[in-house]
Amino acid sequence: MLRTHNCGELREGHIGQKVTLSGWAQAVRDKGGLIWIDIRDRYGITQLLIEDDGNAAAVLLETARKVGREFVLQATGEVIERAAKNPNIPTGNIELRLSDLEILNEAQTPPFKIEDETDGGDELRMKYRYLDIRRNPVREKLVLRHKIAQEVRRYLSDQDFIEVETPVLIKSTPEGARDFLVPSRMNPGEFYALPQSPQTFKQLLMVGGMDRYFQIVKCFRDEDLRADRQPEFTQIDCEMAFVDREDIINNFEGMMRHLFKMVKGIELPEFPRMEYADAMRDYGSDKPDTRFEMKFVDLNDVAQNKGFKVFDSAEIVLGICAKGCASYTRKQVDELTKWVQRPQIGAKGLVYVKCNEDGSFKSSVDKFYSQDDLKAWAEKAGAEAGDLLLVLSGELDTTRKQMCELRLEMGERLGLRNRQEFSPLWVVNFPMFEKDEETGHYHAMHHPFTSVLPEDAEILKTDRYNARANAYDMVINGVEVGGGSIRIHDKSDQADMFDALGFTPEEAQEQFGFLMNAFEYGAPPHGGIALGFDRLCSLFGGVDSIRDFIAFPKNTSGRDVMIESPSVADAQQLKDLSIQLDIKE
């Protein structure tokens, strides 16, 4: 046995016991007659004491003086009361007076400090990720991920869901993002694809009578990356048969409330519902952050036709009310203007109206609008003395997106986006289709297996591109945690959907014939949801990026800088796969 206890376990009740610990050397302090070594493992840290009292073996002192940072040690001794107690660690009342110390493995000096506050940058820590994982903040995030996964499995198993694994090497199908392709040596010139989701397989499981399925599953998308994206990510993928939308919502709202209670000790209230159209009108986003109000206000009727050409020519004039911000200086307003003019936002300018305490108004467009005009703006926006109106204008969708970003930024600056507060909701009744403005083609807003909202069934027949989908997204604090829909289960309805998306019958059969054929054998009504597991973990952990919740993540270029992947394949591998490279610079 290499240890009798872990490094976070010993307390005053262990005083007098002989124990053995194993771990890494966090720090060494040599004061001549006294040597202290902090030994660390996953569970905590314990102080070791070597005292030259004339009785200590010379070999023990010699060994202790060889120890460097991150050496792997085995330490045996007696637990004693610590003279100078440390209230900052659970083991701070005791220490271990050593009788034996063995260096199990020496270590090079690490390239960054293995401490909570490290001096290592992101790229350096990713290159040495196995060292980064030794740090408490990273390890705690992986432990949190484990706890969430265990509670998901516990909840769904209690609800009679069956965990079923689905294939990783599948057929490439058009699902919105690029597929990762895997060449087949046994079938020259043909390729597998890595799944963007197990969508069709979970529908086939419903045809197979599994009734309630779930899987915590890896998915893959070859797309540009950002803080909340990785080329490989994890979903909590679920499907249910013989259900309607309320069944799905109730089950997975219940699961989320269970997770918050068991993992964070928070009792969430019932999730409100919000129509997609209302979310876009009031927040400019289908995943609104409802921890704070600051809803959009349509100012067209009070701001247009007053001689200000910027507003008069705009499709929409939108405002938000920043409570208590009339005290903003000109410098602060100018900085906000520059912020919205950044290429990432793209606004041409920003109009403001200060609602002064004396009832007057000060605006950047004073020469075009009277005090009565500005008062009408304020009244429509619900602005009071001391508030600040911020106004953008332009094309509807573009302006909504810009105002959404400005609203979130103001929420951040005003401290309204507390990471320890949680505001969940369901966004429902999405459009069935979205139009690509460049090509003019329509594509499914969710995916091509989503059914129409029952009350829009007739609209689908007469004006199908204006029909709404029987779809729903779970949103928490402005993050789309998951989304799903009631599926199409009738072959003719699925064929109509493929037709609406521009597939010929032959193309639909080639891409999805296996699913269409399965529907010939009695597909039950079914629906489901997929929740982003990595995003859920980052939400629980109170950070924006999902990377620290993934043991070995990729960087923003999709590279694993630790193992140097992707890498060049050698000539023989390419020959075996019947692949010849023709790389254009």
458 labeled binding residue: no
Alpha carbon 542 to its chain centroid, in Å, reads 10
Q: Give CA–CA dist 430/434, Å, rounded.
A: 10
Contact 92, 82 (CB under 8 A): yes
175 labeled binding residue: yes
222 labeled binding residue: yes
324 labeled binding residue: no
User: 88 to each of 43, 44, 65, 341, how far by Cα in Å?
Assistant: 15, 12, 26, 47
Q: Give CA–CA dist 124/325, Å, rounded.
A: 41
Contact 49, 96 (CB under 8 A): yes
Token readout for 429 is 């009744």
146 labeled binding residue: no
Q: At what angle do helices 245-259 and 136-158 cross, to 10 degrees?
A: 140
487 labeled binding residue: yes
535 labeled binding residue: yes
If you compute the radius of gyration of the chain from its CA atoms, what whole number of angstroms results? 30
223 labeled binding residue: yes
Q: Which long-range contacts (CB under 8 A, 24 or more apart) does 207-212 make?
A: 207/518, 207/519, 207/521, 207/522, 207/523, 207/524, 209/241, 210/162, 210/164, 210/241, 211/160, 211/162, 211/240, 211/241, 211/242, 212/156, 212/159, 212/160, 212/161, 212/162, 212/239, 212/240, 212/241
DSSP 8-state secondary structure symbol assigned to residue 551: S
230 labeled binding residue: yes
221 labeled binding residue: yes
Token readout for 261 is 């209670």
Token readout for 260 is 């918050």
Closest by Cα among 223, 242, 241 to 232: 223
DSSP 8-state secondary structure symbol assigned to residue 264: I
Q: Give CA–CA dist 24/9, Å, rounded.
A: 15
395 labeled binding residue: no
Annotated binding site: 175, 221-223, 230, 446, 480, 487, 532-535
Annotated binding site for ATP: 221-223, 230, 480, 532-535
Annotated binding site for L-aspartate: 175, 221, 446, 487
